[in-house]
Amino acid sequence: MSIVKLAAPLAGWCLPLAEVPDPVFAGAMAGDGVAIDPVEGVLHAPCDGEIVPMRDARHAVTVRSEAGIEVLMHVGIETVGLKGQGFELLVSAGERVRQGAPLLRFDLDRLARAAPSLVTPIVLASGGTVLSRATQRALAVGDFLMEVDGGEAQAVAASAAPQEHARRFRVPFDHGLHVRPAALVAAALRPFKSQVVIVARGRSASARSTVAMMSLGVHCGETIEVRCTGADAAQALSALEPLLAPDLPAVVQQEVRKPVAATLADARRLEGLIASRGVAVGVALAWKQAEIEIVEQGAGAASESAALRNALAFLASHLGGLAANATGASGELLRAHAELVQDPELERAALEAVARGKSASYGWREATRGMAESLAVLDDERMRERAADLRDLEEQVLRVLRGEVPAAERELPENAVVLAEDLMPSQLLSLDARRLAGVVLARGGATSHVALLAASHGIPLLVSVGPAVLEVAEGTPVVLDAEHGWIDVDPPAAELAAAQRAALQRAAERAADLEAALQPCATRDGVRITVNANLGSEEEAHAALRQGAEGCGLLRTEFLFLDRRDPPTEAEQAAEYGRIAAALQGRPLTIRTMDIGGDKPIAYLPLPREDNPALGMRGVRASLWRPELLRAQLGAILRVQPHSQCRILLPMVNDLEDLRVVRAIAAECAREQGRAALPPLGVMVETPAAAMMADQLAREADFLSIGTNDLSQYTLAIDRGHADLGEKLDALHPAVLRLIRKVAEAGGAAAKSVSVCGAMGSDVDALPILVGLGVHEISATASTIPRLKRTVRLLDAGECRELAQRALDAESAAAVRELAGVARARARAAASS
């Protein structure tokens, strides 16, 4: 037995292969080993040995030890496409090197901008057995990496009854026989004993060695010959046919399976927007539901009217019963639907159609679609969601009128990943949660009700994936990665196994994060970061505390004002706020005044129609337009006990005038209650105007809270709900970051706290940059708090400030995210060094 100890060739964070964001390496198809997320740009020799020739490969180096073990080090993922740019080889093929000698220099920042990942796999390319290895800790160059038994490194398989088979293939891979396809070839041959060589350009190489195949320098389209010798030679050759397109006449070529380049994860990968995070490994279930057929003419106004009223009453009762037994987002949605199905305007419009001789079904469809179409064109995502709610209720009522259950039901296989054009909330709620692994939608939005429901139930969900997902055959194995934003269709078995290991690893990581989430968090150099939760109900407050929330940085009060016929009374509001305050057990509660406007059809707030509601009567402007509603809300907030727990937050403030007027109204309410002082009164910075005036606002406001969703929308001039431009609306755009810096500086100069409460607060990529910009308080979605706290503990505030400056000078949001990826790797390494 020949034992070799390998030293770390890079400084950085060591992680298991299963976490490498590439299925070939993650599945150990290129060989067993580990990976390092580097923090320095020099690759060193892991042992004494000889540099193995790897033609045209400047992004990877192989060292063959004296015992014959070949150690392949592949810098970054998918870096072969860079064609050597950003790399400088420091050694030559055949050169003898000592352990620790520099082998390759690479531009860390350039690679971060150009490659999907800097993670560098270090694998045994020609066999050998790993006896022990380092993992999940920071390494310096020269630290222990692996102990390897090289006894089998050069073993040649024996064949009981030698046979010889050969066949020509044309190489289909875009970059030729580089690491990933060579690893697939070697992996396909593992079950067989025969000797297999590849002959090209008059040279031969073992097909069991990834490095040997790479040394041939074979390019895409070149012809190779595969020669198999041994008892199972025919079977070994057959195993390669699905990977390599045979070099046959064109008429026969059409019958040959398409090249492996079209079946690798990247080619079979469909990307979308992450609506609910998580990873799922399962089988595809196509959800296709035809529109319910109805008849236009009714059987008489009296009978059709009675049928409609009975259906509406039944559904309202049914939804109310479901809501009584549901919690969180599910309960809120069901209550909203129960209220909406009783809307008098919808019923009136439907009965008018019935009076014209139409059927109850026709009348209901006409009424709901008319209202839905008017809402769908509004410039407000919440109203577009109301349009989706109406379409959902349309179908439920039509099913009741047909004598069926309100929601369509479907039996699911184990670990079902539902693929659909779109999905309505009632349909999602009807699915068996025990068998549902995830959902992928061709359309839909990341802030839809279905997205909120999926997140509340822990169901991974991708949206806006496109129509290609509807072509996936039912029963096809899939890997849904809603952490990175893609679904892999029919991946190889090894890739499925790697995904399952990655899912288990993430689950263990989340459990560890949750266990530590109840403790406060600070950066490594002692900068305290407060992590609060965005809330919308008492139930969410209880759940947020379990996730480690230190308070509520934003209570959305719209839930009290929407989907009802009359405004909530002061007493009703005070009771609700009081219950949420009690649920927080004395922790801070920041209550945002109603953020409603002219684009929302609220019966008791008949604001004029506006061509561009996003730039019209909304937020504090709408509140001041109807000050009696604002007065009642301020009075309710002032009644919450204890008085010291609450803060008041004003949405859509542009300048000091808005703040001063609201402060005066609040002071009047306080005097009426006999209160001598007001709670802290802060403003949301959601427009470029407010950001530019932040120094003035900070002098009079008690605190500032940055709403990055609207700030990004207004700064970049991209509608938050735009289907085609959604990916370009990124709060990490340098223009948005520069406004955030201005607000943070203004708050610091006035000694006022500055918080981020938009979606950016829940973004792990954004966290180190926010800290570097001077934001020390965030308010996030409750489910993200454990991971955010763990990330804070890995950061160094000084390094974050350097990162933030580089982000401000970047050219795009994509460039900023690449910088953030490098920063995370360095933080992990430094935290454990």
Catalytic residues, which ones? 449, 757
Closest CA to 790 of 544, 519, 455: 519
Q: How far is CA 605 from the centre of its chain?
A: 37
Amino acid (1-letter code) at residue 566: D
The tokens 């948005």 sit on which residue? 736
C-alpha dihedral sign at 37, 42, 46, 50: positive
CA distance 496 to 597: 48
CA distance 361 to 340: 17
Amino acid (1-letter code) at residue 169: F
Sheet holding 279-287, edge to edge: 269-271, 486-489, 477-481, 279-287, 416-420, 436-441, 461-463, 273-276
Strand partners, 139: 12
Closest CA to 139 of 833, 736, 787: 833
CB 177 within 8 A of CB 240: no
CB 133 within 8 A of CB 158: no
78 phi and psi angles, rounded to 5 deg: 60, 35
CA distance 205 to 62: 15
CA distance 816 to 761: 16
Helices 360-376 and 301-324: angle between axes, nearest 10 degrees: 60
CB 704 within 8 A of CB 698: yes
- Say which residues have a Cβ less than 8 Å from residue 475's Cβ, sequence separation at least 6: 283, 284, 413
State how far the alpha carbon of 506 is from the alpha carbons of 19, 513, 641, in Å.
Answer: 9, 10, 41
Amino acid (1-letter code) at residue 100: G
State how far the alpha carbon of 263 is from the alpha carbons of 172, 184, 285, 504, 778, in Å.
Answer: 11, 12, 20, 25, 42
Tallying the residues shown for the chain, one arrives at 833
CA distance 384 to 588: 32
CA distance 647 to 638: 9
CB 17 within 8 A of CB 24: no
The tokens 């875009």 sit on which residue? 174
DSSP type of residue 559: G
Closest CA to 615 of 598, 603, 600: 598
The tokens 């995502």 sit on which residue? 381
CA distance 800 to 792: 11
CB 783 within 8 A of CB 759: no
CB 52 within 8 A of CB 211: yes
Within 216-276, residue ranges assigned H as helices are 233-240, 250-253
* 456's tokens: 């509340």
